[in-house]
Structure 1
Amino acid sequence: MMDRTAVYRRLVRRETHSSRSVAAVFVAAVIAVALFVLLGLSAWAAFDAGFRDAATTWITDTVAGLDAESTLTVVGIVALILAVMLFLIALTPGRRARHARVTDRIALVVDDGVLADAAADAVTRQCALARSQVSTTMTRRALTVRVTPTSGLGVNGDRVKAAALAAVSGAGFDKEANVDIAQRGVIA
């Protein structure tokens, strides 16, 4: 029998990392279109002597007008850049904007937007602000809280930080919180 925690970890990884199928489908589609165009042009050239002569003339004139060294250098650089981009897409882990935790009994995956909204709601309740005055962003490492106070009323940054951290840690995610309080307030 397989360990439940190992199954949870595999499921959490699947939910927090994106697949590379979009990049693979895009590259395959571009290659397929290029091959179909080449096949169509080859078939057309096989049956139409006028097209074949025009294509031969165009290719000959184009190749004669190009400098071989500079053309090969440019083509090589473009191919190298494309290869490096595809290599990096294939090897780097794609992370989704989600946080996860695993215990013996459950696996929990929470979207970063949900955690950010929970922190914003907690700050709104704790500091008696309108929801439109609090903006939060959750990243992999930290929670950022931006507060626009009501004009003439101060907002305690420590209270904001404590409320935001309590909301996030209540879900089981311990993060660092950065608080940014605007210098100018809004009119109530």
Structure 2
Amino acid sequence: MTTQTALSRRLLRRETRATRRGPAVAVAVVLTVILLVLLAGAIAWAVDGGFRAQAATVIAPVATIAGTPSALIGMGVLLVLLALLLIGLAVVPGRRARRTRLTARTALAIDDGVLADAIADGVARRLGMPRGQVAVTVARRAALVRITPTSGVPVARADAEDAANRVLGEAGFPLAPRVQVAREGVIS
């Protein structure tokens, strides 16, 4: 493997993986708000005697309820689930909706939406129907092609599947097309 190929593979991998910026920012914001509220409460507790008395009347029933074994177990389970969720978000790689292809000369990363539009355009052109009547959704291993025929003009499912296979073959992405032809057509 040449250094150029290794670099291309690394770049393509970066393009298909999502960052963990969203969950990290959400956790940081929640922790910051909690710490600011605790800081404001501690300052008010130290400065204002009236706040201390009022806070003690609010905290007393909560502390009584929180001291029961069932509440402690419930809080523990909730914290363990939250910890597992955060660990999962940190460890499991995120996936962007992109496909990659590496050849001897090029490295290509294409968005699933662009691939879906190309499939829809190719199927509509090969079947001789308006583009608005073909919708495509690209999943991990398949492309779902939904066709709404013009009323009175039948569309052969095999022809649509062949057209989708041709477009995917020309694009060079190994997806299995699943074609659905609507029972009722649209009036043109």
Which residue of structure 2 aligns with residue 30 of structure 1?
30
Task: Provide Cα deviations, 1:44-73, integer angstroms capped at 9, x if missing partner.
Answer: 111111111221232123223556111101
Partners of 2:70 and 2:99 in 1: CA distance: 49
On the 8 A contact 1:99/1:140 being kept in 2, the answer is no
Task: Provide Cα deviations, 1:15-72, integer angstroms capped at 9, x if missing partner.
Answer: 1110111111111111111111101110111111111122123212322355611110
Aligned residues between the structures: 187
Matched, 1:86 2:86: yes
Q: 3-state DSSP class of the match of 1:173?
A: coil
Task: Provide Cα deviations, 1:92-144, integer angstroms capped at 9, x if missing partner.
Answer: 11111110011222110001111111111111111111111111111110011
On the 8 A contact 2:66/2:72 being kept in 1, the answer is no
TM-score (norm 1): 0.94
Aligned AA (2:75)? V
Structure 1: state its 5+ residue gaps.
Answer: none
Matched, 1:12 2:15: no
Partners of 2:67 and 2:32 in 1: CA distance: 30
Which residue of structure 2 aligns with residue 52 of structure 1?
52
Which residue of structure 2 aligns with residue 120 of structure 1?
120
In the TM superposition, structure 1's runs of 4+ consecutive aligned residues that sit over 3 Å from their partners are: none
% identity of equivalent residues: 44
Q: What's the Cα RMSD here?
A: 1.4
Q: 3-state DSSP class of the match of 1:187?
A: coil
On the 8 A contact 1:134/1:146 being kept in 2, the answer is yes
Give the Å deviation of 1:169.
Answer: 2.1
Which residue of structure 1 aligns with residue 136 of structure 2?
136
Structure 2: state its 5+ residue gaps.
Answer: none
